[in-house]
Structures are given as C-alpha cells and as structure tokens.
Amino acid sequence: MNMLSFPPPPAGMAMPELRTEVRDFLREQLGDDYGPEQRAQSWMGFDAEFSYQLGKKGWLGMTLPKEYGGHSRSALERYVVMEELLAAGAPVAAHWIADRQSAPLLLHYGSEEQRQTILPRIAAGKCFFCIGMSEPDSGSDLASIRTRALRVDGGFRVNGTKLWTTYAHHAHYMILFCRTDNSDDRHGGTSQLLVDLTTPGISINPIGDIAGEHHFNEVVLEDVFLPESALVGELGQGWKQVTGELAFERSGPDRFLSSFTLLTQLVGILSQAPSREAKRAVGRLVGHVMVLRHMSQSVAGMLDRSENPMLQATIVKDLGALVEQEIPDIARTLVVDTGSPNSTFAAVLARTLLAAPSFSLRGGTREILRSIIARGLGLR
C-alpha cells in the first residue's frame, strides 16, 4: 500500500505585516455596514469593483511573472491574502476562478498570445472566468463528458452543454473541457479551449439555488466556432491539463472556510455561558479547521516548489467539505434558541444551512473524490 504524506507547512506562513495590510484594506473597503449576514456569503459574494481594487493593490495574479502583469510573489504570500479575504467573508467571487485556477492554467499551458492577452487583465481584476467542466448526466465524472469540438477549417465547431457554471452570466471567458477526438481510453481524446462568452451560438441560462439566488447557470453551445488560437495546451492532452487545474481548485482555504462566519458567531454566543458540551464541540470544530489549515498550507508549499499536489489537494477538498457541513449542523444543536428570525445568528445560520449542500458538490462530489484518493493510495 502506498502511504500519502503531507509535508510540514512552510516556515514563515504568519507574515504579520502582509496580514495587517490586508486587514486594514478590508476595513476600509467593506466598512461597518458589511455585517455577518453579508460575510456569510463566503467566497460566493460578487463585487466587480472590489476585485478591481484588489488588483490595484497587487493582490491578484500574485504568483504570475511580472512580464504577464503579475507580481512574482510566492504561493505562500498569495495564501495569506486568500485566507484573510475568506475569514472576512469578502465578496471575491468575481475574480476567484480566474485568479485561483484559470491564470495558472494559462501560464503553464496557454499560448504566448493567450498569456499576453489574458493574464494582465486577470491580475488587474478586469477579467473574470467560469469553469466549463460539469455537464448534464456527467457531474463530477469528467471522463464522461459529451461536449464535442470538431475540427473544421480554421478552428473548431463546438456543440454541448455545461452545467452548474458559477457566475457564467458575469464571466468574460470559460475554459472548456471537451472531446476533440475519439479514443478507446475514456480519458483520451479530450482538450481544453478558451471560450469568449460573447461568441455567437452561446446561451447562458440561469439556475436558481435553494436560497432563490442566481449563482449557477446552464451554458449551451450550439455550432459555436472557435479559432485554432482558442486551443489551450496540446490537442488531446485535456485530461492531464484539467487534473492539474483541479489541484489549484481543490486545495485552498476556500475548501474549509465557507462556514467560518457561522463558526465565529457560534463562538461569540456560547462564550457568554459556555457549557462543557459546548466547549468540547467547538474545540473539536476549531481543531479540525486548524488541521485542515496546516494541510492546505502544505499544499501551497508544494505548489511553490512546482510539485504536483493533486492527491493531497483532493484530500483537503474532501475533508474540508465534511467540516464545512458539520459546522451548521452542530451550531443548530448547541444553540436551540437562535433568537428572533431576524437575529444575526439566525440569519447567518439560515444562509449557511442553505449553502451547505453545495459544499460537497462543488469541486467534485464526495464519491468521485474518494475514488480518486483510493486509486492514488493504491487501494483499488
């Protein structure tokens, strides 16, 4: 049996000066009116102007080379900024996908034209991306995708549907994972294409969530022509590329801090009259968060060393979703009387409960993730 080890978190992760700078920025940008109910949106809050201001501060595209509009800073410095933004519940959704995974993907696999055209705009907080992976009847099993891009003169003709595409209605581009060739290997014959979402033939249809909000979309591509220059990386190497992209998507603090505002609210209420049961339950939750934090930081260190932490990132994602979903369940058990329906705690709890089912879906369902982990550890 192969044993998986997480390297120790890199030294110097505290970075107090950078943390202080980010916290001062957040106080200035968000103000006193940005309360717990808004913070409870976690990284799903959308504010294009806020993302633009982050870009002006140099906190987007932090790890990108300067020649592409980035700042040549370490993955660990970027991690500190992400952690502070998430802990504050800042509205980061506009730039999140572009900065988290689309930019590193284009840096590693994109053409020079794609890098020069797109990366500086991502770093400036002016270019937003969505993820073109999941499909109807496919979901997290990406090897079963059916969206197809046929080679034609000058490029590709694309037909298919992508589903649960977060903020596609605000995005400028999508990285599309699709089939470009037939292959006996279900992972073969796939590629990635850079899609300008203003291209004719693309329809973006809203999908309401259980909170009645519009984050998700169905994106339908009907005879969409994409030029040869839309190809990201090598034709037929989409599976290798997309699994590398998922390491960026699954490993960050966004995978265990989605319920953080509720946790801080819970600690505040229980500290007024703590019982032994409450202390034990909250201590356990905080302990889980701290362990996940160390694991996630170690993945950031691996990325900084240009290592491939795909398996470690998958474990962080799976365990993080468990803790994120456990927090609202424990909170409503410990606080029987949440106050009036309009109380802050009740509102934060209600929002988190409605969002919680998505925590074990986005970034890969639990069943798929555990299958990946089992194969990686040689258990199947």
Q: Does domain 241-376 have CATH number 3.40.30.160?
A: no
pLDDT digits (tens, 9 = 90+) for 116-133: 999 999 999 999 999 999
Provide the 3-class DSSP secondary structure of residue 231: strand
- Alpha carbons 68 and 122: distance in angstroms, whole number: 10
Residue spans per domain, the chain: 16-127, 131-236, 241-376
CATH architecture of 16-127: Orthogonal Bundle (1.10)
* CATH among 2.40.110.10, 3.10.450.50, 3.30.470.20, 3.90.100.10 for 131-236: 2.40.110.10
Amino acid at 27: R
For the stretch 271-275, contacts whose Cβ atoms lie closer than 8 Å and that sit 24 or more positions apart, written own/partner, are none
Token pair of 322, please? 């468990």
Token pair of 267, please? 């600690």
Return all residues near 341 (Cβ < 8 A) that are at least 6 apart.
Answer: 347
Token pair of 266, please? 């819970």
Return all residues near 204 (Cβ < 8 A) that are at least 6 apart.
Answer: 165, 168, 169, 197, 217, 218, 219
Token pair of 48, please? 């294009």
Per-residue pLDDT of the chain (380 residues; tens, 9 = 90+): 344 667 776 666 678 899 999 999 999 999 888 989 899 888 889 999 999 999 999 999 999 999 999 999 998 899 999 999 999 999 999 999 999 999 999 999 999 999 999 999 999 999 999 999 999 987 677 888 999 999 999 999 999 999 999 999 999 999 999 999 988 788 889 999 999 999 999 999 999 888 788 999 999 999 999 999 999 999 999 999 998 888 788 778 888 899 999 999 999 888 887 788 888 999 999 999 999 999 998 888 888 888 888 888 888 889 989 999 999 999 988 887 666 666 899 999 999 998 888 888 777 778 778 887 888 787 75
